[in-house]
Amino acid sequence: MKLRSIVLLSAVCTTLSATVLLADEPTTSLTQPAAAAAPSAPGDHEAAPGPHEAGEHYQPTYITVLPFVALLICIAVLPLIPFTSHWWHHNRNRLLLALLLAVPVILFYLFGHPGWYDHETHTIAARGLPTLGKMLSHAILAEYIPFMVLLFSLYVISGGIRLRGDLPAHPATNTTFLGVGALLASFIGTTGAAMLLIRPLLHTNAERKHVKHTVIFFIFLVCNVGGCLLPIGDPPLFLGYLRGVPFLWTFHLTAEWAIACGILLVVYYFWDLAAYRKEGPFEIRRDETHVEPLRLEGKRNLLLLLGIVLAVALLVPHKHFLGLAKIPAVPDFFREGVMLALVGVSLLITPGGVRKANKFTYAAIAEVAALFIGIFITMQPAIGILKVQGPALGLNQPWQFFWATGSLSSFLDNAPTYVVFFETANSLTTHAGPGIMQLLDGSFIRVDLLAALSLGAVFMGAMTYIGNGPNFMVKAIAEERGIRMPSFFGYMLYSIGILIPIFILLNFVFFVFHLV
């Protein structure tokens, strides 16, 4: 009965949303260039451009963002409400809700949008099915599929690697674990690094009573802050890569990464040192006597992970491999095909016992796939609004982008939040110049704004359990091991007290005084 009630409510909300969106008069949001609005001068034989000729200036009204906002609120709130929490845990229900909220947006682009403007080809599709087709091609084919294939590949291949062993859980040992995880996060993804290291870290600390703080810092460092050096490190950066940010550009964030990780590791070391001294003699004795050297199983998957990195970096659609003109340009989805082939190799060559010992399942990646198909569709009107209204938001300084992107990334998933502010920064820049990067579609973006919004999305995804996908997965694994993790708001007390001072320091060092 609960399921039927929720589905019925979702269907009603979807119908109402669709009615409201379609009732909107699209031409009221279609702005004309000033030259087009003025009367023709004598002797001027050029006709004023019609709506489709000004299609790039079309702005959906704000009400069209409601399905996107509703979906993000559902992601944040439904897991916390007792009435809906059990229902929400089924991926089938997540997918149903995501698709239901995508329906009003699909109907809007089918019936209410005057014509999709393609910024890459500078053409406008006719209203109706051509416009809907362009929107779905952009949202699903160009972004969702590459995004999901990358996450799926990293998730499955890293699931075939198992680090086993039990070291003495000294503060130096735990700090080393976190430091290695923060480095790996950029090269095998935050999800891959978290799934690889959380279980051996918990096993190493199994004899200790005070472990909660270790998991919290693990979420800070491995699930979030550590993943900003490569596009495969964190989903927001990969979406930037799909929009034309060079693969190695994120290495420009090394100083920010090093300072944030360094401060967190120092704070953690002294915190864990104090916690270690609270352990009783029995726990210390057990920890010192139950020792097993670290062993890595499934080593061949490390080469496959390297293959994923090379595929993302070198197999760019419509570009020649290594810039060699004699080699045909990389076709669409060839990169994704290579990554899926590497996944297939991993499944063939990895002994089944490794994934079984890792308690590997496809549930976590299925959750991401179910939700993000709705996110990528419903966020299209928001992107359209920001392309027109971005300059009017009053955001023009790096520190503003850092805090605006980070604040939303704390409570919403950081990937769509990154896209929203990426488009805002993109709309502020119209020409080439010093400190400006040209993107694949021919548009431009200021490098200082790109750095600020990238760091805000990646770093502040650590502020809550829902800021980034791996956060909740690590929390669940820790609780399976009997560790009593903080509540949603209890976790925020840690993140506010520890992370916000670090972010304020980074803000002044890099974005206000430009000391580094």
Mean pLDDT along residues 235-259 = 90
Q: CA-CA distance, 422 to 390, in Å (whole number)? A: 10
- pLDDT exceeds 60 at position 8: no
Instruction: Name the token pair of 233.
Output: 């490190």
- pLDDT tens string 159-205: 898 888 777 778 999 999 999 999 999 988 898 888 888 888 988 88
Most confident of 185-189, 206-210, 410-414, 474-478: 185-189
Q: SS3 string of 436-475? A: EEECCCCCEEEHHHHHHHHHHHHHHHHCCCCCCHHHHHHH
Task: Please give the average per-residue pLDDT across 135-139, as a whole number.
Answer: 87
pLDDT band at 413 (very low <50, low <70, confident <90, very high): low
Highest mean pLDDT among 143-152, 326-335, 346-355, 454-463: 454-463
Give the mean model confidence (pLDDT) for residues 117-145.
81
In this predicted structure, which of 45-49, 322-326, 390-394 has the lowest mean pLDDT? 45-49
Residue range 299-316, pLDDT digits in tens: 899 899 889 888 888 888
46 — pLDDT class (breaks 50, 70, 90): very low
Residue (of 75, 101, 88) closest to 412 by Cα position: 75
Looking at residue 49, what is its pLDDT?
A: 41
CA 137, CA 308: separation in Å to the nearest integer?
A: 24
Least Cα distance to 177 among 205, 207, 151, 209 occurs for: 205
Q: Buried (b) or exposed (e) across 428-456, using 16+ Cβ within 10 A?
A: bbeeeeeebbebbeebbbbbbbbbbbbbb
Per-residue pLDDT reduced to its tens digit, 459-496: 999 998 877 778 877 887 888 778 888 887 889 999 99
DSSP letters spanning 396-413: -SHHHHHHHHHHHHHHS-
- For the beta carbon of residue 56, count every other beta carbon within 10 angstroms: 15
pLDDT at 41 over 90: no
Of residues 324 and 230, more confidence is placed in 230
The helix-helix angle for 363-378 and 414-427 (nearest 10°) equals: 30
At which residue do the structure tokens 């000729």 appear? 53
Q: Output the six-digit token pair for 34.
A: 């000033």
Cα distance between residue 375 and residue 235, in whole Å: 13
Stronger pLDDT, 11 or 127, i.e. the higher one: 127
pLDDT (0 to 100) of residue 106:
93
pLDDT of residue 317: 85
| Percent of the chain with pLDDT strictly greater than 90 | 31
Percent of the residues in the chain that have a pLDDT greater than 70, as a whole number:
86
Average pLDDT of the residues in 76-96: 85
CA-nearest of 140, 130, 118 to 332 is: 140
**Tell me, what's the pLDDT at 502?**
96
Residue 429 sits at the vertex; the CA angle it makes with 426 and 434, to the nearest 5 degrees, is 120
pLDDT category of residue 209 using cuts at 50, 70 and 90:
confident
Encode 126-147: b = buried (16+ Cβ within 10 Å), e = exposed: ebeeebbebbbebbeebbbbbb
Is pLDDT above 50 for 11?
Answer: no
- H or E segment to which residue 165 belongs: strand 162-166
Q: Which of 474, 459, 475, 441 is nearest to 256 (CA)?
A: 459
Mapped onto helix, strand or coil, the DSSP state of residue 294 is: strand
In which band, very low, low, confident or very high, does the pLDDT at 431 lie, cut at 50, 70 and 90?
A: confident
- Token pair belonging to 109: 């682009």
Number of Cβ within a 10 Å radius of residue 10: 18
d(Cα 34, Cα 443) in Å, to the nearest integer?
A: 21
Parse the chain into domains and list their residue ranges.
58-120+135-512
Radius of gyration of the chain (CA): 24
Residue 48 pLDDT grade (very low, low, confident, very high; cuts 50, 70, 90): very low
Mean pLDDT value of segment 328-338 = 90
Contact between 417 and 408 under an 8 Å Cβ cutoff? The reply is: yes
**Sign of the alpha-carbon torsion through 235, 239, 240, 245:** positive
Mean pLDDT value across residues 423-438: 84
Residues 348-362, buried b or exposed e (16+ Cβ, 10 A)? eebeeebbeebebee
pLDDT of residue 463: 93
Q: Please tell me the distance from the alpha carbon of residue 260 to that of residue 203, in angstroms, as a whole number.
A: 27
- pLDDT tens across 347-396, in order? 999 988 888 888 788 887 888 888 889 988 998 888 788 777 767 778 88
Round the average pLDDT of the chain to a whole number and report it.
Answer: 82
Residue 22 pLDDT exceeds 60:
no
With 50 as the cut, is the pLDDT of residue 47 above it?
no
Q: Residues 381, 386, 388, 389: what is their CA dihedral angle, to the nearest 10 degrees? A: 120
